[in-house]
Amino acid sequence: MSALPNAKTVLTGVKPTGAPHIGNYIGAIRPALRLAAEHGRSYLFIADYHALNAVHDPKILREDSYQVAACWLALGLNPEKTVLYRQSDIPEIPELVTLLCAVTPKGLMDRSHAYKAAVDKNKAEGRDADADVNMGLYTYPLLMAADILIAQTDIVPVGKDQVQHIEFTRDMAGYFNNTFKNVFKLPNYQLESGVAGALLPGVDGRKMSKSYGNHIPVFIDSAARRKLVMKIVTDSKRPEEAKNPDENIIFQLYSHFATPEETMAMREAFTKGGMGYGDAKQKLYDVLEREFEGPTKIYNDYMANKKKLDDILDAGAARARKIARETLSKAREAVGLNGLPGVHAAAGEGQLQRKA
């Protein structure tokens, strides 16, 4: 067991969707890294089976998956502690989906927000309700439940949009446990506290988003970073004029990366007057550089050396498969199938009896 006071298991899945921006970092990556560091056991996996529902270009799927691994490692994930793996390296996950299918009502999938959103959109556009909805999208909650349950997860850090998935996971675990026996722990979600990524403004003041093209990527070279910071829109107040820091994109971004003292100093300077926008942009650039220059180098090194990433991911998969095989074996036995060869009913049986 771990020496950390909090011996709970935290698990996060990350869909490979291209390089992150600083809003993703503040809203999701940094909080998840902190949570992983605080807890006894932590798992972080690349949700490549989930991505496959939407990405049908093998080169992109492969490259994007590497990007996720390189990104989290560059930003401080310690692979000795946190188990980092590809979902697709754990064949026990899709096998668990098959078992969960047997106790999961179809109606549950019909109620999934993601599926309903796709149907509503189709209807609004006058198309067939299920146009372009593949079975991967439809059964997404089943795969996600298997991801979580197979690792006997206690806590899943999520954004608001993912809460329903965790509720469904608890439902499915309950159906299974009640129908057969207590095999699965019921996970809880933890809403990404910090600052929701959604609240971080982009360089034009709207919410930072790749689709608006107003984002600042995490991994870019210093010159490009500077250029983006200089593009931030401001009003035309002169340096000596007093300004409201809370209506100011530069200050809002700065406060997420600066120390409390630095933040206080900029707040005062804006409020009193004497802080020009050019000056503030330079300070913002400096703190972004301090935070991301090192990680950018590490990220680029990993992306130029995929063998290193493969080694780390292979080692992670071997560790993750251990718990995955134990859980799956118990689930198989519970329903009346053979346990997996080489897996003995683990010592943790008694521990699993208690309801989470």
Which residues would be at the binding site for ligand TRP (CB under 6 A)? 11-13, 15, 47, 50, 144, 147-148, 156, 162, 165
**32 with 39: CB under 8 angstroms?**
no
In the complex with ligand TRP, the residue whose CB is nearer, 11 or 216, is 11
In the complex, the smallest distance separating the C-beta of residue 143 from ligand TRP, rounded to whole angstroms, is: 7
> Please, which residue, 16 or 245, has the CB nearer to ligand TRP?
16
For residue 76 the two structure tokens come to: 């401080």
Half-sphere exposure of 298 (CA within 13 A, CB side): 16
Q: For 270, which DSSP code? A: H
Residue 334 beta carbon to ligand TRP: minimum distance, rounded to whole angstroms:
22
Nearer to ligand TRP, 65 or 296 (CB): 65
Whose Cβ is closer to ligand TRP: residue 83's or residue 258's? 83
| Residue 27 C-beta: closest distance to ligand TRP, Å | 12
Q: Do 111 and 338 meet the contact criterion of CB atoms below 8 Å apart?
A: no
Nearest to 47 by CA among 94, 95, 97, 87: 87
Query: Which residues lie closer than 8 Å to 105 by C-beta, 6 or more apart?
Result: none
Q: Which residues pair with 156 in a beta bridge?
A: 189
Q: What is the closest distance, in whole angstroms, from the C-beta atom of residue 58 to ligand TRP in the complex?
A: 20
Catalytic residue status for 207: yes
**CB of 16: closest distance to ligand TRP in angstroms?**
10
- Name the catalytic one among 15, 81, 181, 207: 207
Ranges of beta strands (E only) in 192-309 are none
**Which residue among the candidates 116, 121, 123, 297 is catalytic per the annotation?**
123
| Residue 90 · residue 38 · CB < 8 Å | no
Q: CB of 117: closest distance to ligand TRP in angstroms?
A: 13
Amino acid at 328: L
Dihedral of alpha carbons 308, 314, 317, 322, sign:
negative
Report the residue number, 50 or 243, with the smaller CB distance to ligand TRP. 50
For residue 298, with 0-12 CB atoms within 10 Å meaning exposed, 13-18 middle and 19 or more buried, which class applies? middle
What amino acid is encoded at 273 in this protein?
A: G
Q: Active-site residue 243, yes or no?
A: no
**Catalytic site includes residue 181:** no
Question: Smallest gap, in angstroms, from Cβ of residue 192 to ligand TRP?
Answer: 11
Q: What are phi and psi of 331, to 5 degrees?
A: -65, -40
Whichever of 148 and 250 has its CB closer to ligand TRP, that residue is: 148
At 189, is the secondary structure helix, strand, or coil? strand
DSSP-assigned beta bridge partners for residue 14: 46
Closest CB to ligand TRP: residue number: 13
Q: Which is nearer to ligand TRP, 82 or 248 (CB)?
A: 82
DSSP letters for 193-225: -S--GGGSB-TTSSBP-GGGT---BSS--HHHH
Please give the positions annotated as active site. Answer: 123, 207, 210
